[in-house]
Chain A
């Protein structure tokens, strides 16, 4: 199995959130992302830091994860980013 790159993993996590109508809890997100708990935490914190996702709390006090505007934009632009990196061997 080919190891996924950092950007690809970020895209996969953001894609899962989008497919879940932009609302998902962290446990199913971790399960669907096929990452170990430690790796998931690392990526999740990265996405929060980069303002690609944010946490919201509903009236039952349950935490959910949603995409930010920047997160949606990342998904839109993902193929351009990868194409650009490949084109200039960055």
Chain B
């Protein structure tokens, strides 16, 4: 057992707090700066886009909580908790984190797909169901290879649906830029999930992931603020 709050973790926690602050602030700024556009238009695409960033903010809040709990109890992963009172608390946070993470990506997908799916709101319930299954499986299983497999399946599913959406984009040039940004968002979001679920898998690459993820969220925020005129 390592000594409580050794220097590596203190530095790590500072980085974690700063990183979470950037992502949560960017996500909430996207959500609130598009509020008026949605209130005026009641346009479904804007609604799902906003919900996606609200869910990213909530997911990151739970992610920060998990990181804090790991540091506080001096363990490397939620599944390393010995089965005591903190195990259910850690697992519940993990379920919530996975659910909000999955739904954030699904809402983003739905925002570009809802018209092709003929505005069928039943599909959104299906996506909620998939997100619940993914989050429960993640919490139940502590096997790293299984967790990696679930996330790989999730990534392939999201990428495939988004690739189909991309082929139907109206403006090819703008569409390619958006496709690149969203794909990078998906890739780094997956790496963020793996960083929480199987920390040893990405050891040494965390800072790179944090910098790249922050850059992607800042790029999206910039695009949003430019268009909303805020």
Contacts and interface: CB of A to CB of B under 8 A. Distances in A.
Interface of A: 7, 50, 70, 73-74, 77, 80-81, 83-90
By secondary structure, the B interface counts as helix
B206 interface: no
Count chain B CB atoms within 10 A of each CB in A77, A83, A88 and give the residue with the most.
Answer: A88
Interface string B34-59: 10110111110110110000000000
B144 interface: no
Interface in B206-230: 223-224, 227-229
Given A83-B227, A90-B49, A90-B112, 18 more contacts: A7-B41, A50-B42, A74-B41, A77-B36, A77-B37, A80-B37, A81-B41, A84-B227, A86-B171, A87-B178, A87-B223, A88-B49, A88-B112, A88-B178, A89-B112, A89-B171, A89-B174, A90-B46
Contacts of B43: 7, 81, 85, 90
Contact of B174 (A50, A73, A81, A87): A87
A86 B227 CA distance: 10
Contacts of B41: 7, 74, 81
A38 B65 CA distance: 54
A81 B112 contact: no
12 contacts: A80-B227, A81-B37, A83-B227, A84-B228, A85-B45, A85-B46, A87-B178, A88-B223, A89-B169, A89-B174, A90-B111, A90-B112
Nearest to A80: B229
B2 interface: no
A1 B48 CA distance: 31
Contacts of B190: none
Contacts of B228: 80, 84
B227 A87 contact: yes
A63 B56 CA distance: 48
Nearest to B174: A87
Contacts, number: 59
Given A88-B49, A90-B49, A70 B40 contact: yes
Nearest to A52: B40
A86 B229 contact: no
A81 B165 contact: no
B230 to A, nearest CB: 10
B40 A77 contact: yes
Count chain A CB atoms within 10 A of each CB in B43, B165, B175 and give the residue with the most.
Answer: B43
A56 B46 CA distance: 32
A88 B34 CA distance: 12
A84 B42 contact: no
A84 B175 contact: no
